[in-house]
Structure 1
Amino acid sequence: MAVSKKTALAFKSYQNRAQVLVKSYLLADAFMPYTFVLGGIFASKMVYDLTQLISTFYFRTYAGLTKIQRTEWNNRGMSSVHAIFITTMSLYFVFWSDLYSDQYTDSPITFRSSPLSTFALGVSVGYFISDLGMIFWLYPALGGLEYVVHHMLAAIAVAYAMFTGEGQLYTFMVLISEFTTPEINLRWYLDTAGLKKSNAYLINGVVIFFAWMVARILLFVYMFYHVYLHYNQVFQMHQIGVFLVFTVPSALGVMSLMWFSKIVKGMIKTLAKRQ
């Protein structure tokens, strides 16, 4: 009886210490961004492992893959989950949340942020760090130089917006482009599973075409138009923030146009074979 009471007291003591740690460190304003980034890294690792576990039991194709193919399979599962998460959050903040609404004139939209917006960006930074680490470790098996450039630009811009609170609206606008990631990953899965000649593969190609055109081309045009309308507010940001608002979307936009041309050529080639 005495032993169990001591055990209970010891557990209560550890619980109190944990609560103090959470309140004084993990949820302290100064450390929240770092906590969110670490959470993003942990979540990425967890999704990677879950993808591996689920695929082992439910996908017969998985067992026949090479080691590097299984790694890419798991990596794409991780990137798909991140894409769904950050696209959902970005759509909410850009089109439905009042946080960046022009109806509120108490502060420029380029300086508005919230704990929820910082959390979303922190998780995204954690993912980009995790994915970059894997790309560098296995380079160039998971992607060449274009993937490195894309992820580094995205990580820098998202991290800046998260830590400073500047330009978060435009960061979310660019992150909506992650909407195309699950479709791209599904195409790789279908190809790896030997379903390149299936109707699903054809439909996937058409979906990628329209999704890419909307999320990675038209949306970027809208973003720059929004910057033009709020030109004075944008230039109240720090010079680094202004530089990132103009250069990162421009660079990513050029890359998206290059990839889009390949998508168009691939779709035309596929449709020609079907006739």
Structure 2
Amino acid sequence: MAMPVQTAMAIKSYQNQAEVLVKNYLISKPYIPYTSVLGGLLACKVAYDLSKLISTFYFKTYNGLTKIQRLEWNNRGLSTIHAIYITAMSLYFVFWSDLFSDQQFAGLVTFRSSALSTFGLGVSVGYFFADLGMIFWLYPSLGGIEYVVHHALSGIAVTYSMFSGEGQLYTYMVLISEVTTPEINMRWYLDTAGMKRSYAYLINGVTIFFAWLIARILLFVYMFYHVYLHYDQVIQMHAMGYLLVFVVPSVLGIMNLIWFGKIVKGLKKTLAKKQ
């Protein structure tokens, strides 16, 4: 009877040590930025491998692709998972959480943050680092200079907001634009599977049009309007944060408008073929 008791005590001891480790380091506020980025990188690896595993067994098209196409297929699976995650987090903090509400909390909205909001950004930083690394590694197969600029600016802005705690509301507003990523990836999948003339491809194009218009055009207008209303608070940010609030969304907004023009042109072309 002594052995089971000793075993139970040993397990309990290890459990207590694990709880102390998690509490004092993994979810301790000073370490959250580092553990969340590490967690984001690990999640990217798991998501990439899952995409590869699932696609090998369940998608006949996948096995007939070239090596670089399979890499892009898995990369798009990874970006889709990240997009779903960060969109959900962003919608929660921007529209449902009281953290950035003008009515619920006192103090400057530009300096508000929480352990969860910081963790959420950290996971996204891990993704941007991982994806940017793959873009450089396979350049220009996964995207040209516009993708490098987009990911670099996004990664810098999210990283600064995560570590400083400044402007997290505006960071999450911009990250809502990731809601368009799954539709863009689906378009590539449909094209690769030879379904460019299908109604699924047409429906996907219409979905991209409305999602892009709302999340990457109108929402950016709303963000700048919010900045205008709270400019007295924005101006109190550190110079780096102040610069990022204006420069990054402005550059991304211009890129979004250029891409939106291409989306409209492509949709018109697809609709013309269906008539």
Same fold (TM over 0.5): yes
Task: Report the counterpart of residue 143 of structure 1 in structure 2.
Answer: 143
Matched, 1:269 2:264: no
Q: CA separation in 2, counterparts of 1:105 and 1:18?
A: 35
Q: Which amino acid aligns with 2:109?
A: I
Q: 1:200 Cα shift? A: 0.3
Task: Report the counterpart of residue 58 of structure 1 in structure 2.
Answer: 58
Q: CA separation in 2, counterparts of 1:240 and 1:198?
A: 48
**Aligned-partner SS, 1:46:** helix
The one-character-per-residue Cα deviations of 1:166-188 (angstroms, maximum 9, x if unpaired) are 10000011001001000000000
Q: Which amino acid aligns with 1:174?
A: V
Q: Which amino acid aligns with 1:175?
A: L
Task: Report the counterpart of residue 85 of structure 2 in structure 1.
Answer: 85
The one-character-per-residue Cα deviations of 1:15-72 (angstroms, maximum 9, x if unpaired) are 4443332222212221111111111111111111111111111111111011111111
Q: CA separation in 2, counterparts of 1:17 and 1:160?
A: 33
Q: Which amino acid aligns with 2:170?
A: Y
Q: CA separation in 1, counterparts of 2:152 and 2:3?
A: 54
Task: Report the counterpart of residue 204 of structure 1 in structure 2.
Answer: 204
Q: CA separation in 1, counterparts of 2:101 and 2:242?
A: 20
Q: CA separation in 2, counterparts of 1:140 and 1:6?
A: 59
**Aligned-partner SS, 2:30:** coil
Task: Report the counterpart of residue 103 of structure 1 in structure 2.
Answer: 103
Q: 1:9 Cα shift? A: 6.0
**Aligned-partner SS, 2:29:** coil
Q: In 1, are the aligned partners of 2:62 and 2:70 still within 8 Å (CA)?
A: yes
Q: CA separation in 2, counterparts of 1:139 and 1:14?
A: 46
Q: CA separation in 2, counterparts of 1:8 and 1:97?
A: 42
Gaps of 5+ in 1: none
**Aligned-partner SS, 1:102:** coil
Q: CA separation in 1, counterparts of 2:257 and 2:164?
A: 30
Map 1:27-176 onto structure 2 (within 5 A): 27-104=27-104, 106-176=106-176
Task: Report the counterpart of residue 244 of structure 1 in structure 2.
Answer: 244
Task: Report the counterpart of residue 223 of structure 1 in structure 2.
Answer: 223
Structure 1 length normalisation: TM-score?
0.95
Q: CA separation in 1, counterparts of 2:98 and 2:43?
A: 28
Task: Report the counterpart of residue 192 of structure 1 in structure 2.
Answer: 192
Q: Which amino acid aligns with 2:189?
A: Y
Q: CA separation in 2, counterparts of 1:151 and 1:10?
A: 47
Q: CA separation in 2, counterparts of 1:229 and 1:93?
A: 19
Q: 1:6 Cα shift? A: 6.9
Q: Which amino acid aligns with 2:122?
A: G
Q: 1:105 Cα shift? A: 5.0
Residues 230/269 of structure 1: CA separation in 2 closer, same or farther (3 Å cut): same
Q: CA separation in 2, counterparts of 1:201 and 1:77?
A: 18
Deviates more, 1:17-26 or 1:118-127: 17-26
**Aligned-partner SS, 1:31:** helix
Q: Which amino acid aligns with 1:111?
A: F
Q: 1:115 Cα shift? A: 1.2
The one-character-per-residue Cα deviations of 1:125-146 (angstroms, maximum 9, x if unpaired) are 1111111111111111111111
Gaps of 5+ in 2: none
Aligned residues: 275
Q: 1:106 Cα shift? A: 1.6
Q: 1:104 Cα shift? A: 3.2
Q: 1:273 Cα shift? A: 1.6
Structure 2 length normalisation: TM-score?
0.95
The one-character-per-residue Cα deviations of 1:194-218 (angstroms, maximum 9, x if unpaired) are 0001000011111111111111011
CA RMSD of aligned residues (A): 1.6
Q: CA separation in 2, counterparts of 1:142 and 1:2?
A: 61
